[in-house]
A and B are shown apart, each in its own frame.
Chain A
Amino acid sequence: MSALPVAPPAASAETEPGPLALARTVASRVATTCLVELQKLRHDRTELVTRAVQPALWLLVFGQVFTRIRAIPTGSTPYLDFLAPGILAQSALFIAIFYGIQIIWERDAGVLAKLLVTPTPRIALVGAKAFAAGVRAVAQAVVVLVLALILGVHLETNPFKIILLVVALLLGSAFFCCLSITIAGLVLSRDRLMGIGQAITMPLFFASNALYPVELMPGWLQVINHINPLSYEVEALRGLLVGTSARLPLDFGVLFASAAVMIAIASALLPRLARG
Chain B
Amino acid sequence: MTPALRCVGLRQKFGDTVAVDGLDLEVERGEVFGLLGPNGAGKTTTIRMITTLLPAPPGAIQVMGRDVARQRTAVRRLIGYVPQQLSADGTLTGRENVALFARLYDVPRAARAAQVAAVLDAMDLTEVADRPSKTYSGGMVRRLELAQALVSAPQLLILDEPTVGLDPVARDGVWDRIAAIRAATGMTVLVTTHAMQEADEHCERVALMHRGRIRAQGSPGELKDALGPDATLDDVFRHHTGNALTGDNENGGMRDVRAARRTARRVG
Contacts and interface: CB of A to CB of B under 8 A. Distances in A.
Interface of A: 1-17, 28-29, 32, 36, 39-40, 43-44, 108-111, 113-121, 274-275
A267 B117 CA distance: 33
Interface stretch (B178-186, B206-214, B244-252): B178-186
A16 B71 contact: yes
Contact of A10 (B54, B106, B259): B106
Contact of B104 (A8, A29, A274): A29
B92 A7 contact: no
A117 B153 contact: no
A153 B150 CA distance: 52
Nearest to B96: A39
B73 interface: yes
A1 B121 CA distance: 7
Contacts of A9: 77-78, 105-106, 152-154
B118 A5 contact: yes
- Interface size on B, as a range, is 35 or more
A74 to B, nearest CB: 41
Contacts of B181: 4
Given A1-B121, A12-B74, A36-B96, A119 B105 contact: yes
B77 A117 contact: no
B200 to A, nearest CB: 25
Interface string B149-162: 01111110000000
18 contacts: A2-B122, A4-B118, A5-B118, A7-B153, A9-B77, A9-B153, A10-B106, A14-B71, A15-B74, A40-B92, A44-B91, A109-B262, A110-B84, A110-B85, A111-B87, A114-B81, A114-B82, A114-B148
B53 A113 contact: yes
Contacts of A116: 52-53
B192 interface: no
